[in-house]
């Protein structure tokens, strides 16, 4: 399915939240625009979990949908100032909060919306994933982003291939695939916040609804084919070294 067909699919799917509520979850013009965004993200994430579209389709659809709203509208809709003040910044790594878009939705969303807060010099530690995908939209600040394809993994390490190294600021969406760009590492260059869209449980035949593999990128073995074998780390060790 192409990006154009993903967008067409989204336009054709019934607005499930509207059926449940009959009214807007969020007040005002900006709120209604964000409600439409939430509905569409929910629909495309449900389609991914139901294997109606591919991960590549999901990534393209999320990119298109988030490009249609401003960060200001999104921040107003989630009451950003209150939420950011409540979670503050962590001494190591990140502070997070689940975002609630309103009490009357009437159904469980197919994705988890979260706010991440990362202070200057702190990072979302380098890590890879299994059985999940995610997208990350900076709302404030700036990051140095590195991403890698996940080529293979075992109990001790992941083999990865570098794909992305760039500076991102508000509005610069990034996302991960099942293998493509699956490993990422965000280093905050100033106090920063991201709106995260997380979808887990892509394969209900697996033991875990999702897995995260923290990585010691500085200890990577660079191989002749351009890939890197990177040791896995505990959360505590990764936070102490990279957080």
Instruction: Tell me which DSSP letter residue 97 carries.
Output: E
The model's pLDDT over 6-45, given as tens digits with 9 standing for 90+, comes to 444 444 343 333 323 333 345 556 677 888 999 999 999 9
Domain harbouring 162, CATH code? 2.60.120.10
Task: Answer whether 199's CB lies under 8 Å from 58's CB.
Answer: yes
Query: Looking at the chain, how many residues does it have?
Result: 243
Write down the pTM of the prediction.
0.86
The model's pLDDT over 82-140, given as tens digits with 9 standing for 90+, comes to 999 999 999 999 999 999 875 445 568 999 999 999 999 999 999 999 999 999 999 99
Cα(first)–Cα(last) distance of the chain, in Å?
A: 38
Which 3 state secondary structure label does DSSP give 235? helix
- Which residues lie below 8 Å from residue 34, measured CB to CB, with a gap of 6+? 26, 69, 73, 74, 77, 101
The number of folded domains in the chain is 1
**Among candidates 112, 118, 139, 232, which has minimal Cα distance to 186?**
118
For residue 108, give its domain range.
3-242
Strand partners, 193: 117, 140
Strand partners, 116: 96, 194
């Amino acid at each position: 399915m192409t990006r154009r067909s993903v967008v067409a699919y989204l336009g054709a799917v019934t607005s499930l939240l509207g059926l449940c509520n009959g009214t807007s979850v969020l007040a005002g013009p900006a709120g209604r625009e964000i409600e439409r965004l939430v509905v569409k993200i929910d629909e495309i994430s449900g389609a991914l979990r139901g294997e109606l579209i591919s991960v590549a389709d999901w990534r393209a659809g999320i990119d298109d949908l988030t490009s249609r709203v401003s960060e200001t509208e999104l921040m107003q809709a989630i009451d950003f100032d209150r939420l950011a003040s409540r979670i503050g910044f962590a001494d190591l790594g990140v502070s997070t909060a689940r975002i609630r878009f309103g009490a009357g939705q009437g159904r469980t969303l197919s994705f988890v919306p979260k706010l991440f807060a990362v202070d200057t010099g702190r990072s979302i530690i380098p890590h890879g994933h299994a059985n999940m995908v995610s997208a990350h939209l900076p709302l404030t600040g700036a990051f140095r982003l590195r991403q890698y394809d996940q080529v293979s993994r075992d109990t001790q390490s992941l083999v990865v291939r570098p794909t992305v190294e760039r500076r991102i600021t508000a509005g610069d969406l990034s996302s991960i695939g099942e293998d493509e760009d699956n490993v990422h590492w965000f280093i905050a260059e100033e106090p920063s916040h991201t709106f995260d869209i997380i979808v887990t449980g892509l394969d209900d035949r697996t033991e875990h609804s999702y897995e995260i593999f923290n990585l010691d990128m500085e200890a990577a073995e660079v191989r002749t084919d351009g890939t890197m074998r990177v040791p896995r780390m505990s959360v505590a060790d990764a936070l102490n070294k990279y957080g």
